Structure 1
Amino acid sequence: MRARILRLIQEIADAFWVLPAIIVLALAGLAVAAVDLQLVGRLPAWLPESWVYGGGDTGARTLLGAIASSTISVAGTLFSITIAALTLASSQMGPRLLRNFMRDRGNQLTLGVFLGTFGYALIVLRAVRGGEDEAFVPALGVTLGLVLAATCVALLIYFIHHVASRINVDTVIDLVHDDVVEDMERLTLDTACPVTDDDVDWEKATPVCLAHQGYLQQVDMSALADWAAEHHCVVKLLKRPGEFVYPHAPFALTSTAVESAEAAIWSRIALSRQGGSSADFTFPIAQLVEVAVRALSPGINDPRTAVSVLNRLGAALAWLSPRHLDDGVRQRDGVVRLRVRALDYRELVAVMFDMIRQNAGSSPSVLIHLLNVLGAVAEVERRPERLEVLKGNARVARDQGDGQFVNSHDREALDKAYAAFLIAARGAMAGKSAVGT
């Protein structure tokens, strides 16, 4: 249940309509409160009388009507601009980046305030009454309406600047890179996980299949480990968050057969039709990779964007150098009770660079820069097993360039970049040895 609550919270956080709806309801409540305060004669004592609207009912109707009509018209224009920006982002940088634009708080705030001001003006307008006997002009409400109108003007200027800057590819890359680092900080560890052994022959374990499909969003690892301890077994999940679960395919293994295993596991995970999970930091990495791959396509042919993506990916990998990946193991009373398929360093580097390298065969500048990025990461990395992974990727990139570059100058530059990488890797190993002694 906890996993599904976390999935629901994530879906609400990513939804475009939530913040605008909250703003509209808040401004509707403000309109009712402003009218009621006027009716009971409890205007704020700190508010100067000269600041409050002092006209008649006709002027109040005119002002509120103008505010309502103008804000709803501009809101429609802003919505059209947003759709145009989403279309451009989808075609140029990939449809998976739409989530970043949809959850942008600046866009949501602007549209919410415009729609909320429209609703505010209508609610206050209906309270205006003319005539000599029952005349009522909600002066405080009209005054606040003018303040909201001025706020809308300021937000309109902000919105135009904000949208223009957000569809800039460098800005998008930088924002997604921030998401990568934030998720890495949240999902990686300061200290290495201890080596654990469960003494289970997993080849003879009992498979658990689910009759459902979708992307694994959340796993309540604590509750699942508690259940395994209660039933004196060890559970091994074959999928990690972010991966697709196929119906009737083995999803988990249990060290001993437990009748309620399928129901217990299903109740402690959450699936979704869409990829991306707050428990998987490879999804924003895949978004960056998609931007680079699209930039390398013949229709766009923008290697500088791919180079910019490589810089951010290298920076994220360098940031990760002192930290440790979670091994997905959970214990109870010193006994391993749960193993979740964890992301290792080799898989992480493959997610970052393989697809870009595969699509950069006709772009020497990208392959050469890939070697430069790997060299920069090797300079700060001190773990031999990680350096071996970087060496393997550098060697593959060099071999690919040797086989595809037809220009001797490009091959020479590639060899120089590979030689510089090897020097950086040897220097890192020497630094590790010096620290060890």
Structure 2
Amino acid sequence: MIARLRKFFSDLGERFWVLPALMVLCGILGAVGVVHLDRSGVVPEWLIAGPWLYNGGATGARTLLGAVASSTIGVAGTVFSITIAALSLAAGQMGPRLLRNFTRDRGNQFTLGTFLGTFSFSLMVLRSVRTPSEGEFVPHLSLTISIVLAFVSVGTLVFFVGHMAGRINVDTVIELVSLEVRSGIARLTTDHPQPAVPDPSIWNGADIVSDARQGYLQQLEGDGLADWAAKHRTAIRLLVRPGDYVFPGAAIAVMIPLVDGAEAAIRDATALGAQRVSSADLEFALRQLVEVAVRALSPGINDPHTAMSVLDRLGAALCELEGRHLGSGVFLRQDRPVLVVPRITYDGLCDGMFNLIRQNAAGSVAVLIRILEVLVSAAGVETVAERLDTLQRHAALVLDDATRSVANPDDLDDLRQRHHAFMSMRRHGPAGPAVAQA
């Protein structure tokens, strides 16, 4: 149940319409409240007769409110039509999966909410205006607020143009996704050592638990499922982790011994969806960055500088992983493993970061050199031998690909020098590049 609630609130936070809808509701309720103040006579006559509040008649009030309402809704439609066209071009260059970063952007949502909220406020005030033949009533305070909201809408329009111009810039998009990667690293890693993964032999003879649902595993309430397993004196090994696709009727877990209600317990502790999300899936945010680089390396775009910018962010992510432990996926109760979830490994993260870029950068000397430079920087801060072995494996893969795809001997020498710098970094630490140059 907790996993489903997390999924619900996560989905709600990414919906484009939520903030605009709340601002429309605030506009309607605010108009009702301010009109009530106008009717109650709280606003003194000397203030109405002064220069700060609207002091015209009912006909002018209706014209003014109609102009504000029609102009704001018209501008909202025009601006967001242009935005959709700009996003279509951005999706073609950077990938359609990055469009969710535009739709959940609070600046875009606030802009639409401002226009629609002003429209709603003006429309609600307009319905309360009465001419002398109808029993004259002019809500002076409400009209003044409507004028102020119109000027706020003008300022919001200026903000939105600059905001969108920055958001469709590829470097800005890369930085936004890299911030998501950093947030995922801080959230999904820990400074403390994790429990060791139990020997696979303990699952010999385990019973299979299948699931009739299908979709990506978006949320997992591991502690709740571990408590359930400990209470029923069983052990569960999930076969999928957040980000994996669950196939209908396929095995989702094995458990020993089998306990009644296991399928319901797993169903309550997991939430599936039609797409991957980054809240519990570090690989997803990394794949968004990689997709930008791979598209930049395609023959139709051919933008190696964008790929190099992505590699810089990937290197920064590897440096931030130094000293932090990836979750082992083992949940202990009374020092006994009761739940084991497939874990994401450092080796798997590096494969996801570099394999696709390296494979699509064959022949692009600048990008291959940048991969090696990033690996040198990551090796300079990393101290775990297994992780250094992973970085060395990727450095060797880059050199092997370059040997086959780079024809120019001078370019190949540059790549070999970068690889030599990596090996010197591995042997001598941060002083390694200077040793390599010597």
Q: Which residue of 2 aligns with 1:17?
A: 17
- Quickly say closer, same or farther: Cα 1:88–1:44, change in 2 above 3 A: farther
1:104-162 deviation per Cα after TM superposition (whole angstroms, max 9, x unaligned): 11011001110111111110001000116721000011000011000000000000001
Letter in 1 for 2:179: D
Q: CA deviation at 1:196?
A: 5.5
Where in structure 2 are the equivalents of 1:154-193 lying within 5 Å? 154-193=155-194
Distance 2:195 2:267 in 1: 28
Letter in 2 for 1:38: D
1:322-375 deviation per Cα after TM superposition (whole angstroms, max 9, x unaligned): 211111111112221111101010001111111111111121111111011000
Distance 2:189 2:43 in 1: 54
Q: CA deviation at 1:276?
A: 1.9
Letter in 1 for 2:77: G
Where in structure 2 are the equivalents of 1:293-308 lying within 5 Å? 293-308=294-309
Q: Is the 8 A contact 1:7 1:218 kept in 2?
A: yes
Distance 1:102 1:427 in 2: 47
**Secondary structure class of the residue paired with 2:174:** helix
**Secondary structure class of the residue paired with 2:271:** strand
Q: Which residue of 2 aligns with 1:331?
A: 332
Q: Percent identity?
A: 51
Q: What is the total number of aligned residue pairs between the two structures?
A: 431
Question: Within the alignment, does 1:65 sit opposite 2:80 as a pair?
Answer: no
Q: CA deviation at 1:429?
A: 9.3
Q: Which runs of 5+ in 2 are unaligned?
A: 433-438
Letter in 1 for 2:176: L
**Secondary structure class of the residue paired with 2:190:** coil
Q: Which residue of 1 aligns with 2:7?
A: 7
Q: Is the 8 A contact 1:378 1:424 kept in 2?
A: yes
**Secondary structure class of the residue paired with 2:63:** helix
Q: Is the 8 A contact 1:237 1:339 kept in 2?
A: yes
Q: Is the 8 A contact 1:371 1:397 kept in 2?
A: yes
Q: Which residue of 2 aligns with 1:117?
A: 118
Q: CA deviation at 1:42?
A: 2.3
Q: CA deviation at 1:413?
A: 0.8
Distance 1:298 1:144 in 2: 54
Where in structure 2 are the equivalents of 1:11-410 lying within 5 Å? 11-43=11-43, 49-131=50-132, 134-195=135-196, 197=198, 201-410=202-411
Q: CA deviation at 1:427?
A: 2.6
- Quickly say closer, same or farther: Cα 1:170–1:199, change in 2 above 3 A: closer
Distance 1:96 1:76 in 2: 24
Letter in 2 for 1:328: G
**Secondary structure class of the residue paired with 2:326:** coil
Distance 2:47 2:307 in 1: 56
Q: CA deviation at 1:428?
A: 3.3
**Secondary structure class of the residue paired with 2:338:** strand
Distance 2:113 2:190 in 1: 39
Distance 1:363 1:429 in 2: 27
1:356-405 deviation per Cα after TM superposition (whole angstroms, max 9, x unaligned): 11111121111111011000000011111110110111111111111111
Distance 1:429 1:328 in 2: 33
Q: CA deviation at 1:47?
A: 7.6
Distance 2:357 2:134 in 1: 77
Q: CA RMSD in A?
A: 1.9
Distance 1:176 1:204 in 2: 44
Point out the more displaced range, 120-129 or 241-250: 241-250
